[in-house]
Amino acid sequence: MDKFQNKYRIPSTRLQHWDYGQPAAYFVTICTKGRENHLGDVVNGKMNLSGVGIIADILWHEIKNHTPNIDLGEFVVMPNHVHGIIIIHNSDNISPKSKSLPTIIRSYKSAVSKHAHRLGFNFAWQLHFYDHIIRNEQSFQTISEYIMNNPLKWNENKFNPTNKTAEE
């Protein structure tokens, strides 16, 4: 029955024993496949969005229209990744997984890819995404400021392929 006996399963980056549909604020980072700069360029500390970057920006703000039990915090599109805060509130879902963080992110990534491909862009996301559960107001403020200042600090960013001193 267990054909591959877990030989090919990649361990989840999600926190074990945490219900990602429960109320919390989550800091999310989603990278493009191969960290290719498909989403635009940073010029003089400001992000200039490409066509795919515009799609990624618009559809992030649309998440709230498709998932009514959330609020969106700070968000930024960078050349090869996006950072955002998703706040999940109490939900009366019949299916607890239907409005969970992984489902929300999967839907967002799918929508961006679908629209980008429809318009002829060669684009893909990395398979996984990074998340951090924000546990207090100080952390929320620190992460919000990090997101807002991300374009200004692009030269120091670990996701910047031209930054030779950044850690991977």
Give the mean pLDDT of 107-111. Answer: 97
| pLDDT score recorded for residue 10 | 47
pTM of model > 0.85: no
- Examine the pLDDT at 70 and tell me if it is beyond 80: yes
- pLDDT tens sequence across 10-23: 454 555 565 566 78
In the chain, where are the structural domains located?
24-152
Residue predicted with more confidence, 84 or 94: 84
Note the pLDDT of residue 57.
98
Domain 24-152 -> CATH class: alpha beta
Average pLDDT, integer, range 62-82: 94
Q: What is the pLDDT of residues 137-168, one digit of tens each?
A: 999 999 999 999 999 999 888 888 887 554 44
For the chain, the three-class secondary structure string (H helix, E strand, C coil) is: CCCCCCCCCCCCCCCCCCCCCCCEEEEEEEEEHHHCCCCEEEECCEEEECHHHHHHHHHHHHHHHHCCCEEEEEEEECCCEEEEEEEECCCCCCCCCCCCHHHHHHHHHHHHHHHHHHCCCCCCECCCCEEEEECCHHHHHHHHHHHHHCHHHHHHCCCCCCCCCCCC
- For a pLDDT cut of 70, what percent of the chain falls above it? 80
